[in-house]
Amino acid sequence: MLLKETQEKLLPVLKKYFGYDSFRDQQQKIVESVLSKNDNLVIMPTGGGKSICFQLPALLFEGLTLVISPLIALMKDQVDGLNANGISADFFNSSQESHEQNAIFDKVINKEIKLLYVAPESLSLLGNILTEQYISCIAIDEAHCISSWGHDFRPSYQQLGFLKQSLPNTPIIALTATADKATRQDIIQQLNIVNATQFLSSFDRKNIELEVRPANDRVSQIIKFINKKPDEAGIIYCLSRKSTEQLALKLKQNGISAAAYHAGLNFVERTKTQEDFIYDKTQVVCATIAFGMGIDKSNVRWVIHYNMPKNIEGYYQEIGRCGRDGLKANALLFHSYSDVIQLRKFISGVSNEDVQVAKLERMKQFSEATTCRRKILLSYFGELLYENCGNCDVCINPPQFFNGTIIAQKALSVITRLKENEATGIVIDVLRGAHNATVLDKKYDKLKSHGIGKDISWRDWQQYIIQLINQGYCEVAFHKNNALQLTGFSKKVLFENEVVNLTRPVEIQEQIINKKEPKTTKAKKDTLFERLRKLRQKIALDENIPAYLVFSDATLKEMERARPMSEADLLEINGVGQRKLEVYGDEFIAEITSFMNEKVEKRKKNDTHKVTYELYKEGLSIDEIAEKRNLKTTTIFSHLAKLYTDGKDIDIYNFVTKDEVEQVSKAKDELESPQALKPYFEYFNAEIEYFKIRLALTIIDKEG
């Protein structure tokens, strides 16, 4: 398609129905390819904007676009989202009653709907509808589910190959966020779309800040983290069902709105947790990896990994669930050695153990990186980043290396004295000269090296030992109760004085990071964004749809910046399309207008003494000013007092005599500087008027 033609045809549709002014990255090319009836495979990270790629063509095709999606539970939200944009869409599944299903068939036959969401299991129920007479395009979402190579394999996806055979002229667009080559090949083969055009988008999600911290005291770190982000929705991924529940409980005990989610809960519980999260009723979900696929909630602001994920694919997919609206988001991973040990145990003995171990190793390298983390992440997906990202903890606080040879020697000599039999905890206890039961039982307190590392805190030792392990100076014997053991490199440090470089433990860095973020208290500020958020929440509750479907955070932010107060201006905002303008426009314009008016009023109030000053300079008397401004004379005097304090040129002694000022000064001493004016008034038996007392005090304050 020619550029001009595209601009004339596609952009107005994009704006009208989705409210966007331009396409992102590859969206336009993909849309054009679909409209040209090619088959397509689209690989885009979560939040990259896959939906537009089939939803926009759907509006331009004559017939129906069938959307195959794995999760029935989430179809409703997708359809709600489309309806909110003024697009007629519906979903079809086996739990609907036959009259509901028939109604949908009618709508399809009468060409009343543009998109129909259906789970692969229900395709066979579509009967006559499933022909080229009615269907113009087929979109297959989460297409990696078709591949047993992928991590979300669904057997029902495997039968989808018949679609190309029965509807050979209908373009298929398969979409997924899973990038690896084997899966891609598999999708193409199984769907019989061997001539599909492949679109691979960058996996970089620049708006997500990456951070890794040591796992000490995770829970209180998490509570602090969340308290700094009141109202911001987030997901915490845990390794076990039990820890999701325990963590959710602890958060709740600390006044945070949290819930647990895992595959052990029944369907009703899971659905409720998910919905409460989507509808902004629960702020935080503590979940196993069972949670998240297909959740389109665009305003998830952060993802925490309470435990280390078992590979980078999983990690990346999970963090991809925050910041889908493109606004700043945070991904925080807690790194602990015991997690690595645990994960290592999980995969020991599985059929493809080698692959899994290698994947875990890459994950570990990422967690321990001392160079830009995003570079490491993207290189895993075959993408090269030429410059450091500037949005990961390593870029923000580059590690400071120092000569840690003596520290290393101390640790390695304790490991030697302990005959390579003890795990990290005991090694640190001995280094720090602890006298606990194990140390005493085993007579470790008698060792020469007991206490040689007293000067370093427990936490820091833990960090240093992790660094020594990473650099290969010692290792963990997983099969011997995780005992720390020496390696070939240890000797070089102990006997040949090899220099060991270590980095300062992370806590120092943490403080630097904390300093940068201003502390926000739990009390919410009265910003326009907050006001618009509240309005959005109210509308969402009334309409029973998730708040982000009304407008995304990004759209509200833009409104806050641009303050549109007319329909034309509102329509300029990214995310405001025709239907939303019609349905929500008035309310949002009213809110913005009243916010702005209040601001003007406030400013007027703050500036009121300036108006008095103008009139005073014109030579009006106090009574005249009061009359003109319709204010009391005492108010005008209080303005004069303020103006005088501010150093404005006011002949204050025209209103109060030096003698009166002296009397007030004396009274002030005797009364011990009361706050109120009344004690003075009474002291003078009402012989000096209030306004004079006030002016006198102003002079005394200013001139000391």
Residue 356 contacts ligand ADP per CB under 6 A: no
> CA 617, CA 620: separation in Å to the nearest integer?
7
Residue 154 contacts ligand ADP per CB under 6 A: no
| Interface with ligand ADP in residues 285-314 (CB under 6 A) | 296, 298
Residue 16: DSSP 8-state = I
Q: Encode burial over 77-107: b for 16+ CB neighbours within 10 A, e otherwise.
A: bbbbbbbbbbbebbbbeeebeeeebeebeee
Residue 52's binding partner among ligand ADP, Zn ion, none (Cβ under 5 to 8 angstroms by kind) is ligand ADP
Residue 692 contacts ligand ADP per CB under 6 A: no
Contact between residue 156 and residue 119 where contact means Cβ atoms under 8 Å apart: yes
Residue 20 contacts ligand ADP per CB under 6 A: yes
Which of 15, 270, 324, 432 binds ligand ADP (CB under 6 A)? It is: 324
Q: Among all chains, which residue has been given the structure tokens 């001009």?
A: 4
Residue 50 contacts ligand ADP per CB under 6 A: yes
Residue 668's binding partner among Zn ion, ligand ADP, none (Cβ under 5 to 8 angstroms by kind) is none
Q: State the minimum distance, in angstroms, from the CB of residue 120 to ligand ADP.
A: 18
Which of 12, 24, 406, 435 binds ligand ADP (CB under 6 A)? It is: 24
Contact between residue 27 and residue 49 where contact means Cβ atoms under 8 Å apart: yes
Residue 613 contacts ligand ADP per CB under 6 A: no
- Beta strands (DSSP E) in 336-489 are 401-403, 474-477, 483-486
Which residue's CB is nearer to Zn ion, number 392 or number 540? 392
Which residue's CB is nearer to ligand ADP, number 48 or number 57? 48
Q: Which range, of 41-49, 85-93, 156-164, 630-638, touches ligand ADP by CB under 6 A?
A: 41-49
Residues 6+ away with beta carbon under 8 Å from 632: 626
Residue 374's binding partner among ligand ADP, Zn ion, none (Cβ under 5 to 8 angstroms by kind) is Zn ion
Q: Which range, of 46-54, 98-106, 206-214, 564-572, touches ligand ADP by CB under 6 A?
A: 46-54
Contact between residue 141 and residue 116 where contact means Cβ atoms under 8 Å apart: no
Amino acid at residue number 401: F
Contact between residue 93 and residue 72 where contact means Cβ atoms under 8 Å apart: yes
Q: State the minimum distance, in angstroms, from the CB of residue 373 to Zn ion.
A: 5
CA within 13 Å, CB half, 7: 3
Q: State the minimum distance, in angstroms, from the CB of residue 537 to ligand ADP.
A: 17
Residue 389's binding partner among ligand ADP, Zn ion, none (Cβ under 5 to 8 angstroms by kind) is Zn ion
Which residue's CB is nearer to Zn ion, number 248 or number 392? 392
**Sign of CA pseudo-dihedral 406, 408, 414, 416:** negative
Residue 632 contacts ligand ADP per CB under 6 A: no
Binding site for Zn ion (CB under 5 A): 372, 374, 388-389, 392, 395
Which residue's CB is nearer to ligand ADP, number 27 or number 356? 27
> CA 70, CA 508: separation in Å to the nearest integer?
45
> CA 620, CA 611: separation in Å to the nearest integer?
12
Residue 552's binding partner among ligand ADP, Zn ion, none (Cβ under 5 to 8 angstroms by kind) is ligand ADP
> CA 699, CA 653: separation in Å to the nearest integer?
10
> CA 85, CA 43: separation in Å to the nearest integer?
25
Residues that bind ligand ADP (CB under 6 A): 20, 23-24, 27, 44, 46-52, 296, 298, 324-325, 552, 574
